[in-house]
Structure 1
Amino acid sequence: MATQHLVLVPGFFGFVNFGPLVYFAHVRELLESEFRARGSDVQVHRVRTHPVASLRQRARDLRDVIAVLPDDGPVHVVGHSTGGLDARLVTSPGVDLGPGEVERHAARVRSVISVCTPHRGSPLAGHLAGMIGEPLLRTVSILTVLFLRHGKVPAHLALRLARVLVGEGLLPNTPVHVVLQTLEREAAEALEKDCATEDERLSVADFMRELRTEPHLIPQLMPQALDLFNAGVSERPGVHYGSIVARCPAPNLRSQLRVSGGPYEHATHAFLQWLYRRATPLSPDFHVPFNEQQRGAMRAAWGALPTAADNDGMVPTASQVHGRILHVATADHLDVIGHLHDPFHKPAHHDWISSGSGFGHKSFAALWRDVAGAILENSGGPAPI
């Protein structure tokens, strides 16, 4: 059997592919093991995207990775969050990404699988596009790098972030954006001090430069912008499109009281509350009716269709549906790529945001087994996913 080339595309936290950091935590190892168990040869490739650059730039990054892959087998693209939009853009017939050929490379793609992708946008993007949102996004991005290095964010920084966002009344004389800018600077200093080599410090400097000079992505994730995206982007004949959809329990005061662990877990749960409340509702103007397969998959997993308020902490659940639903999960936006609470697994899984979703290693493995199964089903020629 031909080698299956599987390309993993990150969302707007794609910067974490520099150095030893891994965005798709444990995903590569699980997929390689699953393909071996099924007697298939796979090569997993990761894309180093520009973190907050435009969809067009990110799609060029993906195109450039596909362009240099060996020609000994088909290509399958799996995109988390914004990465799913990058994949759809690259495979859209006749797309113009600027300098460089697209068609020859896009023609190699056999399937596109999106994981918690905002196909119809996320209202959260509007909150991240303003005076408060930009320093918040940069701060969270830096804290994510620190998390991936150590399995936790420094507790004092997490607590300050939660206090700013949830307890804004505690800062009556200081504008929130000023406090966020201070927190951003402190987080950047903590990350710089954490670097052990000059190469790492240069990587951090490049990352910070990109965050400040290329903040084009977030406005493009607003529902109004994705409405235009969907009007111009079409599916490529012969490519199979599937999606992973998720929702997490709605965080509230009661769930905050149930959070186990210390100050860090409570702080990140408070942060999730802020995100969750701003990630919905998706206006009916941008909603696309579910087809029979999509309705059946979600009813089988949840007993009902998602409501307008359901989301994974960042993306409305209804916005994540595109093509055939391959897996339905009760999980938050980062659980699905391995950033989940499972300290006893070897190697340990670490949870960036404490959502109380109950999504553990068994659920994680089941999700990515379904991804592997869909890829193998589509490796021999056009057939429904």
Structure 2
Amino acid sequence: MANRHRVYLVPGFFGFTQMGDKETERIAYFQNVPRLLEQRFHERGIDARVHAIASAPTAGLEARARDVFREMARTANEDDAQLHLVGHSTGGLDARSVVSPRMAREAPDFVKRVRSVVTIATPHHGTPLASYFDQGGVGKTLLRYLWLFTFLTLHRKAMPLRTAALQACYWLVLRSEEAKLPPNLFNQVVRLTADLSEAEREDLIRFFGQVGENQALIQDLMPVRMRGFNADTADREDVRYGCVVTGAPPPRLSLHLLLTPDALLNGLFAFLYAKSAPLSRELQIPERTPAQTQALQDVLGRRFESKSDGIVPSRAQVWGEVLHVAKGDHMDVMGHFDQPPEYISWLKSGSHFQEPQFRAMWDRVIDFTVGGAATVHPGNEEAQRMSIDG
């Protein structure tokens, strides 16, 4: 089955696949990505299947790699297809771990069939945002509220008092250094979402229980810890490595933006962008190849080193061949951008990343992983040009 492929999508921080009972109300980490890939595989005449897998939300990198082994094992041995790992954010580090010589002794045999690893918006050299969240107990507790904020923003159901819940979470995020976080405040906020189904509420509580139990991932993503990870996690010689780099325009909060319905999300993005500290001395980035540097400059400009996607500094995302550079925020490339009703954004970055850029980026990922002759569609060349020119 030399021409059969399986593509595994590995999620990042808060690594879930989907939450919600009804398809029309469900939120998914890889929003519309599997559907797009399957469509493009069909158009190219490629025999490929897409699997979105889950991992422990905030457990350390070693535990997450074992989760990926376990999830892949459900399908990888059904045939002898070539395997490909596509990891977003921390999921890119998980993908590198899975195929690394360091994990070879405990890796299942099917890992030998992995032919490519693509990392998207991945903190290969860490992110100062992790160092911020590691400061004291407040940052770690804050993660639970940050995810609740995300959940409420992305959920398609118009819940009673959702605005009040969002405002409460937002207040905690912006005032985290001074805020006193009583243990029962999270439950009070959850009760504001009164019309969640019982199953959804149970999923939400169980998810946050996992986040509360193990938050080793925060420290693992600190730049100082990532230097050790990279030293121990060598690339495998028979695997091709490519990356997608993301960078959003620096936030500009104006009176006009503060008066819009998206004021909370604009403020949250500005806060996270600042804490991601692209020029931090914590970051020690190895020398790039001329081709890597040129790819970043062509899209993000000569001052690309000061750019971030709101979570990870752009220059910290480079690993292997730079397949694509997108003017977008950390979640845009997963399909969480403003183009309702199919797409819902929670990082209001003002990047103007929409479906043409989304499709062009994922076409480039397909080119690198499974290949195949692309079918020419009107507008494809324009979409690629827009993704580069912004």
Q: Distance in 2 between matches of 1:38 and 1:378?
A: 6
CA distance in 1: counterparts of 2:113 and 2:195, whole angstroms: 41
Q: TM-score, normalised by structure 1?
A: 0.86
Equivalent pair of 2:11/2:90 in contact (CA under 8 Å): yes
- 1:136 maps to 2:142: yes
Q: Spell out the pairing of 1:352-371 with structure 2 (5 A cutoff).
A: 352-371=346-365
- CA, structure 1 residues 152+261, in 2 after alignment: closer, same or farther (shift >3 Å)? farther
Provide the rounded CA distance (Å) in 1 between the counterparts of 2:336 and 2:180.
28
| Aligned partner of 1:178 among 178, 181, 187 | 181
Q: Distance in 2 between matches of 1:359 and 1:152?
A: 25
Could you tell me which residue of structure 1 aligns to residue 388 of structure 2?
none
Structure 2 portions without partners, runs of 5+:
21-25, 374-390
Aligned to 1:290: 288
Task: Decide whether the 8 Å contact of 2:17 with 2:52 is kept in 1.
Answer: no
1:54 paired with 2:60, answer yes
Instruction: Name the SS for the 1:8 alignment partner.
Output: strand
Give the counterpart of 1:325 among 322, 327, 346: 322
Structure 1 ranges of 4+ moved more than 4 A: none
1:175 shift after superposition: 3.6
Aligned mates of 1:258, 1:247 — CA distance in 2: 23
Alignment correspondent of 1:373? 367
Partners of 2:96 and 2:332 in 1: how far apart?
23
Matches within 5 A, 1:133-282: 133-150=139-156, 154-166=162-174, 168=175, 175-178=178-181, 184-191=186-193, 193-197=194-198, 199-254=199-254, 257-259=255-257, 262-263=260-261, 265-280=262-277, 281-282=279-280
Cα separation, 2, equivalents of 1:165 and 1:315 = 18
Q: CA RMSD in A?
A: 2.5
Change (3 A) 1:194 1:114: farther
The aligned counterpart of 2:88 is 80
Pairing partner for 2:36 from 30, 34, 42: 30
The letter of the residue matching 2:359 is A
Contact 1:5 1:76 in 2 (8 A): yes
Counterpart position of 2:8: 7
CA 1:189/1:275 → structure 2, altered by over 3 Å: closer, same or farther? same
After the TM superposition, which of the residue ranges 71-80 and 112-121 deviates more from structure 2? 71-80
| Amino acid in the other structure paired with 1:205 | I
- Matched letter for residue 291 of structure 1: T
Equivalent residue, structure 2, for 1:382: none
Could you list the per-position Cα deviations for residues 154-175 of structure 1 after superposition, in whole angstroms to 9, with x for gaps in the alignment? Answer: 3223333444444x4xx9xx94
Q: CA deviation at 1:273?
A: 1.2
What code does the residue aligned with 2:274 have?
A: R
TM-score by length of 2: 0.85
Residues 60-96 of structure 1 deviation map (CA, whole Å, 9 limit, x = unaligned)? 1111122232223111101110000000011111327
Q: Is the 8 A contact 2:142 2:172 kept in 1?
A: no
| Cα distance, 1:151 vs structure 2 | 7.2
Question: Do the aligned residues in 2 keep the contact of 1:223 with 1:282 (CA within 8 Å)?
Answer: no
CA contact (8 A) 1:63 1:105 kept: no
Correspondent of 1:301 among 299, 302, 309: 299
Residue identity opposite 1:252 in structure 2: R
Residue in structure 2 matched with residue 17 of structure 1 by the alignment: 18
CA distance in 1, matches of 2:118, 2:30: 15
What does residue 100 of structure 2 align with? 92
